[in-house]
């Protein structure tokens, strides 16, 4: 099953699978982002993070493999009277052509063997002093029922990030237990990895 087919099945249902509020960790990092710089959301799905930042005056672009998810994002943006530039693409096929001051991602389903290439793309298109900030399910999420994939190859370790982004300062790369409240898709205790990475 392709990424598009997988996520289209999830996003077909009524409502917003992960709710309409931004991810709490991403929201808490808002002060790191500069409105003068382009803002990119990777694997953005139905748009909760993108809409949050667009409403606050950022120039936001969102990438996702699901055309259904992005259609819901666009409807959400109309309701909130904001604009988010969307592009339907599998991140394995994405070739960055612009520089961004801010890049975010939450809970990307990216196979372990594909991560190095994606991280290199993120590194390459970050502006100097720009931030990559994200929250990802750790391999210990297999012990919880709050959401996320059950395939260990789609889950992350601290080393995945520490062994990449060598041209960057890692302000935070840590595994923590959190209480998720994100729509019907993420509810309850979870094991996540939070990263704040800044391009040198």
CA gyration radius, the chain: 15
CATH of the domain at 101: 3.40.50.150
Cβ atoms of 71 and 108 within 8 Å: the answer is no
The pTM of the full predicted model, rounded to 2 decimals, is 0.96
Its domain, for residue 75, covers 3-199
- In this structure, what are the phi and psi dihedrals at residue 160, rounded to the nearest 5 degrees? -55, -40
pLDDT tens for the chain, residues 1 to 200: 888 999 989 999 889 999 999 999 999 999 999 999 999 999 999 999 999 999 999 999 999 999 999 999 999 999 999 999 999 999 999 999 999 999 999 999 999 999 999 999 999 999 999 999 999 999 999 999 999 999 999 999 999 999 999 989 999 999 999 999 999 999 999 999 999 999 99
Cβ atoms of 68 and 8 within 8 Å: the answer is yes
Confidence (pLDDT) at 82:
98
Number of domains the chain is built from = 1
Confidence (pLDDT) at 1:
82
Q: How far apart are CA 103 and CA 174, in angstroms?
A: 18
Q: Within 10 A of 185 (CB to CB), how many other CB atoms are there?
A: 18
Q: How far apart are CA 200 and CA 23, in angstroms?
A: 26
């Amino acid at each position: 099953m392709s990424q598009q087919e997988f996520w289209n099945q999830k996003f077909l249902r009524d409502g917003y699978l992960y709710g309409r509020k931004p991810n709490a960790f991403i929201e808490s990092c808002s002060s790191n982002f500069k409105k003068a710089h382009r803002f990119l959301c990777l694997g953005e799905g139905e748009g909760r993070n993108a809409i949050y930042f667009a409403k606050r005056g950022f120039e936001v672009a969102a990438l996702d493999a699901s055309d259904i998810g992005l259609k819901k994002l666009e409807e959400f943006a109309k309701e909130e009277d904001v604009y988010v530039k969307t592009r339907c693409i599998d991140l394995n096929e994405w070739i960055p052509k612009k520089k961004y001051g801010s890049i975010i991602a939450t809970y990307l389903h990216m196979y372990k063997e594909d991560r190095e290439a994606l991280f290199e793309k993120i590194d390459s298109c970050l502006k100097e002093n720009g931030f990559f900030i994200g929250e990802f399910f750790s391999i210990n999420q297999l012990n919880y029922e709050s959401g996320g994939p059950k395939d260990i190859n789609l889950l992350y370790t601290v080393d995945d990030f520490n062994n990449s982004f060598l041209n960057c300062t890692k302000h935070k790369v840590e595994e923590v237990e959190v209480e998720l409240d994100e729509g019907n898709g993420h509810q309850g205790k979870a094991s996540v990895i939070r990263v704040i990475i800044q391009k040198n």
